[in-house]
Amino acid sequence: MSGATDLWLLMFACGAATYLWRGLGVLLSGRLNPQSALFEWISCVAYALVAGLIARIIVAPSGLLAQTALIDRLLACAIALMAYRLARANMFVGLVCGVMSFIAAGYVRGAIQ
Amino acid sequence: MKPDRRRALRAGAREALGVPAAVLGAGFLGYGSLAADAGYSVWLTLAATFAIWALPGQLVLMEMQAGGAAVAATILAVSLSAARFLPMTLTLMPLMRNGSRGRRLWQFLLAAQLVSMTTWAVAMRRFADMDVESRWHYFLGFSAVCIGSAAIFAVIGQLLLGALPPLARFGLALLTPLYFFVTLVGEAQSRTSIAALVCGAAAALALHAIAPGWSLLGAGFIGGTAAWLLQRAHVRRH
């Protein structure tokens, strides 16, 4: 089997594994209490996993982002968050400011070197 | 189709066409560029968007596959990242199902694939003043626009990456991580979600140095359980 076929199979397996929760929700609705301690734990695990994913991509990325400076990525995050808050939870303002500051930081870095 | 159904379908589509489709679009624009960087074909990017339809899970798959993680660990981590769908469908589906006439279980099982954080949040808000029939059509219209927008922007991101100068390419690649960072940190309000964020991030970074292939699963289990225990201890104290 080629690597590409493996990746397609893995992707569909991941789709099925994601669907599991959606399908279970349909089948079990009315029989499970979404406010129970078990659900609190499940949502904590999911939340922590996604937080871990983003932390890892920002601090120790692979691919293109690995060629950029850690301090630039952290700075872009801080600026995006600040702009988002200042613009009253406007995601676009946050994203545009974050990306632009990241590009600017990369430009200045390139100009100095 | 009856006019009131068509109206509900169109109302859902129209509501999605504003901020929801644009915010999703930004996330998937970045996803497409990361997919191009990871060597995905356009078809694989599109298929992953439709088959998984959960951006965190799609990113987990990409990250872990790029890092050469074990297949079982990857599938488990993708699945766990989507665990929020269970309470979401549990609360959403009865609103479309109870009192509906003639609609079968398989239709609800198919509709469940369309559920996402965005569709759920908007539907829960809007369903209050709709009848069961309108809710179903509203949900379909809203979801169709969301998925369509995500797919289009993912393809644009994928094609755009190669056409941009290097600095802009870096900016595009940072878009989706930034989007999640702002969403997670900007919207974490409860003590539990803040604890889960901090514990998850700390556990992932600590584990990344030791066992990168397992760091995301570890972040979920260790960080999530720690946050959950902290929350319970806090509730018991008060």
The rounded distance, in Å, linking the Cα atoms of A109 and A91 is: 27
Nearest-CA distance B192 → chain A (Å): 8
The answer as to whether B180 is a domain residue is no
Whether B96 and B212 share a structural domain: no
Cβ distance of A29 and B23 shorter than 8 Å: no
On whether any CB of chain B is under 8 Å from the CB of A66, the answer is no
Number of compact structural domains in chain B: 2
Whether B114 and B201 share a structural domain: no
- Domain boundaries, given as residue ranges, for chain A: 1-32, 36-63, 68-113
Residue B174 CB contacts under 8 Å (≥ 6 apart), including other chains: A65, A68, A73, A76, A98, A99, A102, B30
Whether B41 and B158 share a structural domain: yes
Nearest-CA distance B189 → chain A (Å): 13
Whether B160 and B101 share a structural domain: yes
pLDDT band with cut points at 50, 70 and 90 for residue A31? confident
Nearest-CA distance B2 → chain A (Å): 26
Cβ distance of A84 and B47 shorter than 8 Å: no
Q: Are the C-beta atoms of residues B178 and A77 closer than 8 Å to each other?
A: yes
Which among A24, A89, A106 has the least Cβ separation from residue B86? Answer: A24
pTM, two decimal places: 0.92
The packing angle between helices B132-163 and B19-37, to 10°, is 40
For residue B138, give the nearest of B92, B98, B99 by alpha carbon: B92
Whether B93 and B121 share a structural domain: yes
Q: Where a domain ends, among B124, B143, B174? A: B174
Residues spanned by the domain of B208: 188-238
The answer as to whether B179 is a domain residue is no
The answer as to whether B182 is a domain residue is no
On whether any CB of chain B is under 8 Å from the CB of A34, the answer is yes
Query: What are the tens digits of pLDDT across the range B39-64?
Result: 999 999 999 999 999 999 999 999 99
Whether B233 and B145 share a structural domain: no
Backbone phi, psi, residue B84, to 5° = -60, -20
pLDDT band with cut points at 50, 70 and 90 for residue A2? low
Alpha helices in chain B (DSSP H): 3-16, 19-37, 42-52, 55-66, 71-81, 85-97, 105-112, 117-126, 132-163, 166-187, 191-210, 215-218, 224-237
Whether B170 and B201 share a structural domain: no
The answer as to whether B181 is a domain residue is no
For residue A25, give the nearest of B125, B112, B49 by alpha carbon: B112
Whether B210 and B128 share a structural domain: no
ipTM of the shown complex: 0.93
The answer as to whether B183 is a domain residue is no
Tokens at residue B193, please?
């979600």
Closest-CA residue of B relative to A32 is: B90
**Cβ-based neighbour number of residue A100 at 10 Å:** 15
